[in-house]
Amino acid sequence: MKQQIMTMLDLQNDMNTKVHADWRAQNFEWYRAIWIECAELLDHYGWKWWKKQTPDVDQIALELVDIWHFGLSLMLLSNDSKDVLVDQVEQIFMSPVMSDDFAIDLESFTEKTLITKDFDLQGFARLMAGINMDFETLYVGYVGKNVLNFFRQDYGYKDGSYVKQWNGVEDNEHLVQIVSTLDTSSSAFAKNLYSQMELRYKELCS
């Protein structure tokens, strides 16, 4: 787990640096991105008492992965070393506080985010526990999304030249297919994923 947490911290720093070379000094409102994602997450969970709603656990997990990107960014802005951050994350994920009521837990997490303008790591782990989402799911989902974001940027997402449909299939679906063929426990998982995406993109879109 330690190596996977360190990998995610490094990947997030790389992605942020790609967006802005001096991202740490820009005072981006990471907390705002988190609470907006929380609202979207609640829609997937369901809150309308006047209609039947069933929580969409897969979409909730995807929203938690998105929140994790911003949470990692806030952690990287702290004065703690990456080794200290790794230990903090590992400790909390090894013994998360179980959820009593997911919607209430989400509101508490959102409230703390707005008050502190920081990342509530323990509250986040509690939300994961509320949908029985394990660390491995978070890790694979995060690395996949991060690599896809990098890949899109490298292949023309900003100037509009990127082809999102690869032979009629969206890049997200190709990502899932490729991930299923790789060893996600390998320290080279992210690098191997990018390489395989590159090969497939050139084969289908060149």
Q: Does the structure show a pLDDT above 90 at 114? A: yes
- The two structure tokens encoding residue 21: 């070379």
Same domain, residue pair 199 and 180: yes
> Each residue of 97-111: pLDDT tens digit?
877 799 999 999 999
Model confidence at 120, in pLDDT bands (50, 70, 90)? Answer: very high
Quick check: 190 and 8 in contact, CB under 8 A?
no
Q: Does the structure show a pLDDT above 90 at 173? A: no
User: Considering its fold, how many domains does the chain have in total?
Assistant: 2
Among 77, 97, 131, the domain boundary falls at 131
Which CATH number fits the domain that encloses residue 18? 1.10.4010.10
Same domain, residue pair 65 and 117: yes
Same domain, residue pair 193 and 169: yes
Q: Does the structure show a pLDDT above 80 at 123? A: yes
Helices and strands in the chain: count of H runs, count of E runs:
9, 2
Among 77, 112, 131, the domain boundary falls at 131
Same domain, residue pair 186 and 94: no
For the chain, the average pLDDT equals 90
Q: In which domain, by residue range, is 191 found?
A: 137-205
Same domain, residue pair 111 and 182: no
Output the CA angle 75-191-84, nearest 5 degrees. 25
Q: Does the structure show a pLDDT above 90 at 156? A: no
Same domain, residue pair 38 and 121: yes
Same domain, residue pair 54 and 83: yes
Q: What percent of the chain has pLDDT over 90?
A: 58
Quickly count: other Cβ atoms within 10 Å of residue 195's Cβ: 14
Same domain, residue pair 59 and 87: yes
What would the mean pLDDT of 151-158 be, rounded to a whole number?
A: 86
What would the mean pLDDT of 139-168 be, rounded to a whole number?
A: 89
Closest CA to 73 of 11, 161, 140: 11
Same domain, residue pair 31 and 45: yes
Same domain, residue pair 16 and 83: yes
Among 108, 131, 154, the domain boundary falls at 131
Same domain, residue pair 115 and 171: no
Question: Residue 46 contacts by C-beta under 8 Å, 6 or more apart in sequence?
Answer: 53, 54, 55
State residue 97's pLDDT score.
80
Model confidence at 116, in pLDDT bands (50, 70, 90)? Answer: very high
State residue 59's pLDDT score.
85
Helix (H) or strand (E) holding 9: helix 2-19
> Each residue of 24-56: pLDDT tens digit?
988 899 999 999 999 999 998 888 888 888 888
* Beta bridge partner(s), residue 169: 166
